[in-house]
Structure 1
Amino acid sequence: MFRLLTCFLLFWLGSNADKYTNPIALRAPDPWMVYYDGYYYLVATTFTNELGLRTASTLSGLKDATNTTVFTTDGTVITAPEIHLVDGIWYLLYGACAVGMNDRHCHRIHVAQSTSDGPMGPYTFLSI
């Protein structure tokens, strides 16, 4: 029964893929979101050397929210960022490759730490 239901859902999703629009954010691959102090914070892959956060009090508000740059790297392309609050400190984790390097073997995990109390940073590279 489970396999039948799974096959049906995959067929239905595939047949309606052209009708679906992401209700939260356009052009936001690898999204990561947290809810903190009454606001949603969304970070996503940019394929550039900048990381930006969108914030809104509602999920639907993220769609039109401004993407504010909170961290910039030196010559690396950022992918799959995440934002985490650990012991009262905000961290951005992200994968990065040197510009022009696009194979999956060059990605390494990096960490940036907020220099403020809030998730909107700004952030600085954390050398471990």
Structure 2
Amino acid sequence: MHVSLNVVLAEDDKDYQEIFNNALTEVNIPTMLTVVSDGVELMNILKSPDTPTYNIVVLDINMPKKDGIECLKEIRQDRNLSSTFSVILTSSFDPLIKANAFDAGANLFLTKPENFDEYVEAVRKILTSDWQMNLPIFF
């Protein structure tokens, strides 16, 4: 039996979904990854009684139906989700967006790197940041 992190990635861009998954493989930390393409789908999964507890939620800011900041605010207002480690991973360099993300409750804000090696290091930072899992996930 192995302990595994349970991560959900909310990202509408298929290329970035693939890059994140490939970087996750390179990091080599046991992780179960769920990928969703919009904010409404993310919140439905997070609030579903059939869904396991996620240790980490990684959000893009610009998503259809509900953006990453809206999702983050909703996560922080839900007593069952409020302590979930939440990361904004975006292509934006705007300091106002970064401030808004932290105001909404982001634990970590990262700008999507330009090359794959830097992306691997960003994923490693997400998975090894100073946080505690709510519950270990076993498989």
Fold-level similarity (TM above 0.5)? no
TM-score, structure 2 normalization = 0.25
Greater strand proportion? 1
Greater relative contact order (Cα < 8 A, sep 6+): 2
Greater helix proportion? 2
